[in-house]
Amino acid sequence: MKRSEDVLYRIKTKFPKLSKGQKRLATYITEHYDKAVYLTASKLGKVVGVSESTVVRFAIELGYEGYPSMQRALEELVKNKLTAVQRMEVSQGRVDPERPLGSVLQMDMENIKATLENVNEQTFRDAVQAILAARRIYILGIRSCSVLANFLGFYMNLIQENTRLISTNSASETFEQMLTISEEDVIICISFPRYSKRTVRAAEFAKSRGAKVVSITDSDVSPLVSVSDYVLMAQSDMVSFVDSLVAPLSLINALILALSEANSADIAKSLDTLENIWREYDVYDSHSTEGSVYGTPLP
């Protein structure tokens, strides 16, 4: 995020010219951004002791179209700064305790919808071409993102034999596995709030060696953006201390499909061979439907 887009920087810059009520808002947000981030304009006004219209005028005075756009900017600012406990606190009220399943599924659907509306399809296509042209493909995701990295790595190994899923047991081990990365290679880095420093350092290292960097992340404030050649955005949101990674997984599914379509004939042969191996070594339950790795019968 550019400094001029930072909510707190805008507040600091505009503070001398704000009205008395707006200064109270500015002070509260500066000191309690972790609490203000999920308050509606009406609730924020009540907490500070000003009218809802004052809150809206305050957002406009800072250069936003209205309160919702200021709130989104504030959310982007704080999402990587909150501790696990703070994430629980600020998320209270977003999930209906009487229907947690419906609440969470609704938020996940909204994340997928937001991803669909904001994804850059040309960047997606360019990233696919870069991956297809690479000598080697490295995949890295740490902590909660390791689930996404392992999922992508599992399927990429079936369709691209030059794939390397980077083990993340230690920082030194991460870089040791990238020792020979070069300008002929691509690294796919996956990181969502709270962003992993090691993932960012790995992307920087790969970039310094001339490799193409494809990042799967959530917004322009992600530290991966500045070191990436291709940025694939997927909406992620907090559900208490848990990360919502449904939209990122959907984007990864699309990436796998796009890559497999480019080599469909070779992949079909490989999957057919794998099916014989899986049957021979009794990999899957004999009562399950026989078919490809995607769960559909092979021709």
Do residues 122 and 227 both lie within one domain? yes
Do residues 137 and 217 both lie within one domain? yes
Q: Containing domain of residue 141, as a range?
A: 114-262
How far is the CA of 66 from the CAs of 72, 94, 159, 181, in angstroms? Answer: 10, 21, 47, 46
**Sorting pLDDT into bands at 50, 70 and 90, what band is 285?**
confident
Do residues 139 and 234 both lie within one domain? yes
8 Å CB contact between 247 and 114 = yes
200-218 pLDDT per residue, tens: 999 999 999 999 999 999 8
Residue with tokens 């609730």, as numbered in its chain: 43
108 domain-assigned: no
40 CB-near residues (< 8 Å, 6+ apart): none
What's the confidence (pLDDT) of residue 3?
A: 40
Q: Which of 112-126, 137-151, 164-178, 283-297 shows the lowest per-residue confidence on average (mean pLDDT)?
A: 283-297
Determine what percent of the chain is predicted with pLDDT higher than 90. Answer: 50
What CA–CA distance (Å, rounded) separates 97 from 110? 19
**Sorting pLDDT into bands at 50, 70 and 90, what band is 2?**
very low
121-130 pLDDT per residue, tens: 999 999 999 9
CATH number, position 122:
3.40.50.10490
Do residues 220 and 126 both lie within one domain? yes
Q: Which of 20-29, 103-112, 228-237, 246-255 shows the lowest per-residue confidence on average (mean pLDDT)?
A: 103-112
CATH number, position 69:
1.10.10.10
Do residues 120 and 232 both lie within one domain? yes
8 Å CB contact between 276 and 146 = no
Beta-strand relationship, 212-217 and 186-190: parallel
For the chain, what percentages of helix, strand and coil (3-state, to nearest 5) are there? 60, 10, 35
285 domain-assigned: no
Do residues 154 and 246 both lie within one domain? yes
Do residues 124 and 224 both lie within one domain? yes
Which is more confident, 52 or 107? 52
Number of residues that this document lists for the chain: 299
Which is more confident, 105 or 271? 105
Do residues 74 and 21 both lie within one domain? yes
**Sorting pLDDT into bands at 50, 70 and 90, what band is 288?**
low
Do residues 65 and 121 both lie within one domain? no
21 domain-assigned: yes
What's the confidence (pLDDT) of residue 178?
A: 94
What's the confidence (pLDDT) of residue 248?
A: 95
Do residues 35 and 162 both lie within one domain? no
What CA–CA distance (Å, rounded) separates 141 from 152? 10
Mean pLDDT confidence for 243-268: 88
**Sorting pLDDT into bands at 50, 70 and 90, what band is 156?**
very high
- Beta bridge partners, 162, equal none
> Is the Cα dihedral 279, 285, 288, 291 positive or negative?
negative
Q: Last residue of some domain: 59, 78, 97?
A: 78
37 domain-assigned: yes
100 domain-assigned: no
Number of domains the chain contains: 2
166 pLDDT more than 70: yes
Neighbours of 182 (CB within 10 A): 11
132 domain-assigned: yes
68-103 pLDDT per residue, tens: 989 888 877 776 666 555 555 555 555 667 777 888
253 domain-assigned: yes
The mean pLDDT value of the chain amounts to 85
Do residues 155 and 245 both lie within one domain? yes
233 pLDDT more than 60: yes
Do residues 127 and 226 both lie within one domain? yes
What's the confidence (pLDDT) of residue 297?
A: 47
135 domain-assigned: yes
